[in-house]
Amino acid sequence: MCGFTAILSLNNNPFSISLCKNTGDLINHRGPDDEGYLFFMGEDFQNYKIYGGEDTPESVLQSHIQYCPNRLISLDKNFDCKLAFCHRRLSIIDLSPTGHQPMCYKNRYWIVYNGEIYNYIEIKKELITLGHTFISQSDTEVILAAYDEWGVECQHHFIGMWAFLIFDTKKGILFGSRDRFGIKPLYYWFSEEGFLSFASEIKAFTAVPGWKPILNSQIAYDFLIHGISDHTSETFFRGLFQLRGGEYFQNNIEELHDSLSVKKWYTINREELPDHLEEIQDQYLAKLSDSISIHLRSDVPVGSCLSGGLDSSAIVSLIYKSRQNNSNNQQQQTFSACSDQKQWDETDYINEVLKGKDISPHFIIPDVEGLFDTLKQLLWHQDEPFGSTSIYAQWLVFQSAKANNIKVLLDGQGADEVIGGYHYFHDIHIANLLLKRKIRKLIQESIAIHKLHSRGYLDIMKSSLYFIFCNSRIGKPYLIHYEKEKLTPDWLDVDKLQSNLSLPLLLPESGKEKDLFTRYCYHQTFYTSLPALLHYEDRNSMAHSLESRVPYLDNRFVEYIINLPEKCKIHGAITKYIMRFALKSILPDRVRCRMDKMGFITAEEYWIKVTYQDAFQSSLELAIKNSKGIIKPEAMNYFKKMVSGKIPFSNIVWRIIIFGFWMEMFKVELFERK
């Protein structure tokens, strides 16, 4: 787990090494264990220089390994270069100097890489039989050898999370890849000054000549109105893009001008699976256990997040079971966020999971004073606005792990989207049954939802029809007209923003996939819910120089879940049906059978409406001022109605606050100044 930047001159306009150093310094929190630089001069890519930095260990400088530097970068001895790599390392696997980056293989391929390939041991054995040799115990070298052997097809061999750049000095080809689900970030930007830049975090681009923070109006609208982000390749900054999950590019650098030829390398294969519940139960447990096992590979201590919900509780319990069987001497550690307000507190569930287990738990309680004290730092690390105060709870969990010398945490992120685990999937399920004309089943499920979740039948049908209308030619214009007030609220100046009205749950083209429930699982996994959550998780963990791993996003497990029959995902108004069934002997029933969902949340509603109303009101007033007219004074009326209970509570107030803070922090302009 690391961070990197790269800069390429596109118009034979060489740049100084200080430029690369400056970008790397902005993300040094991602890798405090080692620091490396690679500079190519002129057109001859065999002519290069490598350097270390202040964080480069002495053992690396003294190692005499071909790709390891023996001297520190000196900006006093500056020179021009055409292509530069900077790498900041968080050492997790192979802590020795042979794990240093940028790394070279066969004196031809250079890589900067962020992530973990969990099956690197198995791939390495295969590559050795094919004639490859290795000098390190790292997964990084395995990526290089795999690319040498299989080209871009190497991506299909990897199980893990990654973002990397590989430069082939022989062919002048730059290859960039991002893992299947976008767990690790990779941004790129074409500067008008003639540079193509890459970085693990957006803030690094602020050091590149030509940087102009101009608002992307449509992304801002989608966030403010619908609370979604990271749902396209675009970002909040106009002209700045991200490689999305499952995408790659491979370009000759001499042919690069103003765009990358980005292609999709990963799609989930669809196949029919049997619906024998007993058989599926055993397979589910075996596949999840295998994923957790491979995610525990590490040369440093590993802990776990524990919210008290189904997903993280399953991980903690399965790790404990495996360690009991393997006589692992390292005591398991868990990290949890709780609340002093009972309505938002999961301590009882957490203790239920921990009961009778030799586990060392750690608890934190977010408070609103800490939120505002940390807000600037939190926002700077996130780079873009975030939808609620809940990520502050996650921030504190990672902070606690760092304080307890844990360098890797397993988390339950990604468990809901692929299996339809959120409560609104009840309505998607009903909509799907309606489209399939399974009326008897529809009635049975509606009755179950009514009884188990206390929802009225009219509400169920209205919500279900919404999902159908949202994705039909006739329904879309009707919904836009029907929801005009929600889409153009009086607190938002849509004309000044110059964005298009949009619906939040509009599915992309499905290709051959006709099943509405499965399509929404895809949608949540690749477009709306999960990409934003992974963004928050990556920045929060890396802010504390800590690696977060997500075993529910092992592609083998995801592909298995997505292909399960719908009745295994939701049945009798019970979400994650197969998971609850499979974990009968693993989890206490109180946790396994709970129907509510929280996660690492805060008492945001209580803070805003009761204890710190004045602080949030003052923040809202400041946000309106900083929004350059996008947020109108009417936002105060919305706030007052919400705190008085005249309208339901929502995260809209927080989204406005953080949006205004973000515009001020990053000096964002509405339009480019002439």
Task: HSE, CB side, 13 Å, CA atoms: give it for residue 560.
Answer: 20
Distance CA 101, CA 4 (A): 10
Q: Are residues 208 and 116 in the same domain?
A: yes
Q: Are residues 369 and 308 in the same domain?
A: yes
Pairing of strands 80-81, 15-16: antiparallel
Residue 160 pairs in a beta bridge with 117
Distance CA 580, CA 570 (A): 11
Q: Are residues 310 and 439 in the same domain?
A: yes
Residue 515 lies in a domain: yes
C-beta separation of 313 from 591 below 8 A:
yes
Nearest residue to 643 (alpha-carbon basis) of 631, 654, 633: 654
Q: Is residue 658 within a helix (H) or strand (E), and if so which, with residue range?
A: helix 652-665
C-beta separation of 234 from 188 below 8 A:
no
Residue 635 lies in a domain: no
Q: Are residues 214 and 148 in the same domain?
A: yes
Residue 549 lies in a domain: yes
Q: Are residues 258 and 280 in the same domain?
A: no
Distance CA 575, CA 597 (A): 11
Q: Are residues 252 and 313 in the same domain?
A: no
Q: What is the DSSP-derived secondary structure letter of residue 632?
A: -
With 0-12 CB in 10 A as exposed, 13-18 as middle and 19+ as buried, what is 450? middle
Distance CA 235, CA 1 (A): 23
Contacts for 28 with CB less than 8 Å, ≥ 6 apart: 3, 35, 55, 88
Task: Tell me what pLDDT residue 393 has.
Answer: 94
For residue 541, give the amino acid letter.
S
3-state DSSP assignment of residue 557: helix
Pairing of strands 263-264, 15-16: unpaired
Residue 426 lies in a domain: yes
Q: Are residues 408 and 530 in the same domain?
A: yes
Contacts for 42 with CB less than 8 Å, ≥ 6 apart: 82
Task: Tell me what pLDDT residue 327 has.
Answer: 61
Q: What is the DSSP-derived secondary structure letter of residue 331?
A: P
Residue 561 lies in a domain: yes
The sign of the torsion formed by the CA atoms of 403, 404, 409, 415 equals negative
235: left (phi over 0), alpha (psi -120 to 50) or beta: beta
Can you give the residue range of the structural domain that contains 162? 2-264
Question: Helix %, strand %, coil % for the chain, to 5?
Answer: 45, 15, 40
Q: Are residues 275 and 200 in the same domain?
A: no
Task: Tell me what pLDDT residue 277 has.
Answer: 80
Q: Is residue 444 within a helix (H) or strand (E), and if so which, with residue range?
A: helix 439-453
Domain CATH code at residue 450:
3.40.50.620
Distance CA 655, CA 659 (A): 6
Contacts for 23 with CB less than 8 Å, ≥ 6 apart: 5, 7, 86, 197, 199, 204, 205, 207, 208
Distance CA 444, CA 571 (A): 10
Distance CA 69, CA 350 (A): 47
Q: Are residues 442 and 569 in the same domain?
A: yes
| Count of CB atoms situated within 10 Å of the CB of 359 | 20
Query: Which residues are part of a known binding site for L-glutamine?
Result: 139
Which of these three, 264, 298, 323, is where a domain ends?
264
For residue 345, give the amino acid letter.
D
Which of these three, 602, 623, 640, is where a domain ends?
602
Q: Are residues 9 and 97 in the same domain?
A: yes
Q: Are residues 257 and 279 in the same domain?
A: no
Task: Tell me what pLDDT residue 414 has.
Answer: 95
What secondary structure does DSSP assign to 215-272, as a single string? Answer: B-HHHHHIIIII---S-SSB-SBTTEEEPPTTEEEEEEGGG-SS----EE---PPP--
Distance CA 590, CA 582 (A): 15
Residue 616 lies in a domain: no
Distance CA 67, CA 49 (A): 10
Residue 74 lies in a domain: yes
Angle, vertex CA 9, rays to CA 4 and CA 12, nearest 5: 160
For residue 94, give the amino acid letter.
D
| Number of domains into which the chain is organized | 2
Q: CA of 303: how far to CAs of 50, 298, 426, 531, 541, in Å?
A: 35, 11, 33, 23, 13
For residue 443, give the amino acid letter.
I
C-beta separation of 203 from 26 below 8 A:
yes
Distance CA 204, CA 208 (A): 8
3-state DSSP assignment of residue 74: coil
Where helices occur in 563-612 by DSSP H, the ranges are 566-569, 577-582, 589-592, 604-606
Contacts for 182 with CB less than 8 Å, ≥ 6 apart: 230, 242, 244, 245, 246, 530, 531, 534
The residue ranges of the chain whose pLDDT is under 50 are none
Q: What is the DSSP-derived secondary structure letter of residue 205?
A: G
Query: pLDDT tens-digit profile of 178-196?
Result: 999 999 999 999 999 999 9
Task: HSE, CB side, 13 Å, CA atoms: give it for residue 274.
Answer: 9
C-beta separation of 544 from 399 below 8 A:
yes
Which of these three, 264, 298, 317, is where a domain ends?
264
Residue 641 lies in a domain: no
Query: Which residues are part of a known binding site?
Result: 139
Beta strand ranges found along 90-186 (DSSP E): 103-105, 109-117, 160-168, 173-178
* Both structure tokens of 386: 């975030």
Domain CATH code at residue 202:
3.60.20.10
Alpha-carbon 44 to chain mean position: 37
Q: Are residues 50 and 148 in the same domain?
A: yes
